[in-house]
Amino acid sequence: MERCARPGRPERPLGVGRNVKLRLESRIGYVDLVHEMAEGMARGMGFEKGSALNIGLAVREAVINAIKHGNGMDAGKPIEVTFEQQDDLFRVRVRDQGPGFDWSHTANPLDRENIFRSSGRGIFFMRHFVDRVAFQRRRGKGTEVVLEKRFDAAGRAGRGGEVMKRRKG
Amino acid sequence: MKANARHHGKVTVVDLSGKITIGDGDIKLRQAVNALLDEGRKNIVLNLGGVSYMDSAGIGELVACYKRAREKGVSLKLLNPNGKVQDLLILTKLQEIFDIYRDEREALASF
């Protein structure tokens, strides 16, 4: 007798699948959850501990931005987070539904006049902790932040989950 | 995040542990420092030895605590930031602003 696949059941457990998408209410309480997922998936891909924490911190800042500045702390407006595990990089997309924020005019937090500011370091952290940060305004649909962290040539995880060499830094 | 204050003569050391992040650690840090300022404490050391990491909200609250203390004539110093926390202080150039100590006795004697 031929066995039928169970509809809705993932082929791989959460965290092992290559692409995972979350849709969450805009609540600060979800920031830890997304951070831990990002860091855990990065570890699962073979990023070393420090790099995985950096990825988690960058994703955390993107989610905070989406909730606070994108959706204006309106719990009724969802954020979407997509984790894409590729052979040579880990990409995370964070989408909000709000009018957006002007990322092109963020002040440099290292400037002397800004060093005592209690806010304004989120995008700075994102840019420092991953290889690429891109902001895409979606017409009438909010903003998408794309974060990418790439394995270097010697730092790829081996097939079957075996880690051959781990990326440093 | 946990914050426990202990007093050594004129100096109060606040042992912080866990992570100082948005919605929890940043609030507890603010409450702990505000309580000491309200008590009229003049010399505060924040012991970061047990803090694993901070996010932008945690770093922002640390700066806000420093500013509030300074406005009240209170001296606020840092003790023993670990690897990741130290990285963040260097990255943000805040290590050039704060007085940072590795040894508690040195921190206590600095006031």
B21/A32 Cβ within 8 A: yes
- In chain B, residues with a C-beta closer than 8 Å to the C-beta of A32 are 21
Share of chain B above pLDDT 70, in %: 100
Angle, alpha carbons A35-A41-A43 (nearest 5°):
100
Q: Which two tokens stand for residue B110?
A: 């600095």
DSSP code, position A97: -
3-state secondary structure of A127: helix
In this prediction, residues A39-63 reach a mean pLDDT of 95
A28/B23 Cβ within 8 A: yes
Minimum Cα–Cα distance from A31: chain B residue: B22
**pLDDT given for residue A101 in this prediction:** 64
Name the nearest CA neighbour of B78 among B99, B57, B103. B99
Q: What is the pLDDT of residues A110-162, one digit of tens each?
A: 998 899 998 999 999 999 999 999 999 888 789 999 999 998 733 444 333 33
| B111 part of contact set with chain A, CB < 8 Å | no
Residue B38 and residue B67: Cα distance in Å, rounded? Answer: 15
Question: Is there a contact between A49 and A55 (Cβ–Cβ < 8 Å)?
Answer: no
Share of chain A above pLDDT 90, in %: 62
Minimum Cα–Cα distance from A64: chain B residue: B22
DSSP E strand stretches across A7-73: 19-25
Closest CB to B60: pick one of A28, A53, A118.
Answer: A118
Write out the H or E segment, with its range, that includes residue B34.
helix B25-39
- In chain B, residues with a C-beta closer than 8 Å to the C-beta of A119 are 56, 60
Q: What is the pLDDT of residues B79-98, one digit of tens each?
A: 999 989 999 999 999 999 99
pLDDT beyond 70 at A96 = yes
3-state secondary structure of A13: coil
**pLDDT given for residue A15 in this prediction:** 46
Closest CB to A118: pick one of B22, B63, B84.
Answer: B63
ipTM > 0.85, yes or no: yes
A57/B53 Cβ within 8 A: yes
- As a whole number of Å, the end-to-end CA separation of chain B is 27
**pLDDT given for residue A18 in this prediction:** 82
pLDDT beyond 50 at A5 = no
Output helix, strand, coil percentages for chain A, rounded to the nearest 5.
30, 25, 45
Q: What is the pLDDT of residues B29-70, one digit of tens each?
A: 999 999 999 999 999 999 999 999 999 999 999 999 999 999
Is beta strand A19-25 parallel, antiparallel or unpaired with respect to A78-85? antiparallel
**pLDDT given for residue A2 in this prediction:** 39
| B68 part of contact set with chain A, CB < 8 Å | no
Q: How confident is the model at residue B27 (pLDDT cuts 50, 70, 90)?
A: very high
A110/B67 Cβ within 8 A: no
Name the nearest CA neighbour of B69 among B32, B18, B94. B32
Question: Is there a contact between A54 and A147 (Cβ–Cβ < 8 Å)?
Answer: no
pLDDT beyond 50 at B101 = yes
Residue A25 and residue A80: Cα distance in Å, rounded? Answer: 9
B94/A117 Cβ within 8 A: no
More confident position, A99 or B16:
B16
pLDDT beyond 50 at A7 = no
The Cβ of residue A95 has, within 10 Å, a number of other Cβ atoms equal to 21
| A40 part of contact set with chain B, CB < 8 Å | no
Name the nearest CA neighbour of A18 among A161, A163, A169, A164. A161
Share of chain A above pLDDT 70, in %: 78
Closest CB to A121: pick one of B60, B64, B66.
Answer: B60
In sequence order, the 6+-apart residues with CB closer than 8 A to the CB of B74 are B37, B41, B42, B43, B44
pTM of the model: 0.86
